[in-house]
Structure 1
């Protein structure tokens, strides 16, 4: 596997971990996957910073083992620069369909890959 493929694989693995209910329900593993400078613009249009998302993540959809789970599809990644990967995909959570884009960055070998920015957009019914 070449370096670019390894970077994309690592970012996608982190993205999938953040959809895991066990990770979403627990601050420590989620904190290890989010960059301290993290910002999200959620599907609701609400903006979240690092601490705010960590505090609210356990109460968000997809955080319960017995509730609906994220079902991602079409996940792809592209290296924008060394240590910076763009991941895009669609996801379903129950009947709601959303499109996502995330920037993952790795500052150094010790910190590993962390989500730096995330954007989600609801796809209205009937839109392909």
Structure 2
């Protein structure tokens, strides 16, 4: 595999881990995947900081083992620069669809990629 495909694959693996209820419900596991400078613009339009997201994630949709889970599809990714990957994909959660974009970065001697930025845009149910 090329360096680009390895980086994209690792970022997608991180993205999928963040959708896992076991990770969403654990601040310590989520902390490993979120960059300390993380920000998000959620599907609601709300801006989230690193601390706000870590505090709220265990109560958010997709965090309960017995509840609805994210169903991701159509992942694409590109290595924008060394240590910076851009992902786009769609999710369905409990019938609600969203287009998503995230930036993952790996700094210095870090061994794992961390989500630096995320944005979700809701899709109308009739949208393709």
TM-score, L = length of structure 2 = 0.98
Shift, 1:119, TM fit: 0.1
Shift, 1:24, TM fit: 0.1
Shift, 1:111, TM fit: 5.0
Map of 1:59 onto structure 2: 59
Map of 1:31 onto structure 2: 31
Cα distance per residue 1:52-106 (max 9 Å; x no partner): 0000000000000000000000011111111100011000001100110000000
SS of 2:22 mapped into structure 1: helix
Map of 1:49 onto structure 2: 49
CA distance in 2 between counterparts of 1:89 and 1:109 reads 28
Shift, 1:127, TM fit: 1.3
Map of 1:125 onto structure 2: 125
Map of 1:107 onto structure 2: 107
In the alignment, does 2:13 pair up with 1:22?
no
Map of 2:90 onto structure 1: 90
Structure 1: stretches of 5+ with no match in the other structure: none
SS of 1:12 mapped into structure 2: helix
Shift, 1:122, TM fit: 0.5
CA distance in 2 between counterparts of 1:63 and 1:102 reads 19
Structure 2: stretches of 5+ with no match in the other structure: none
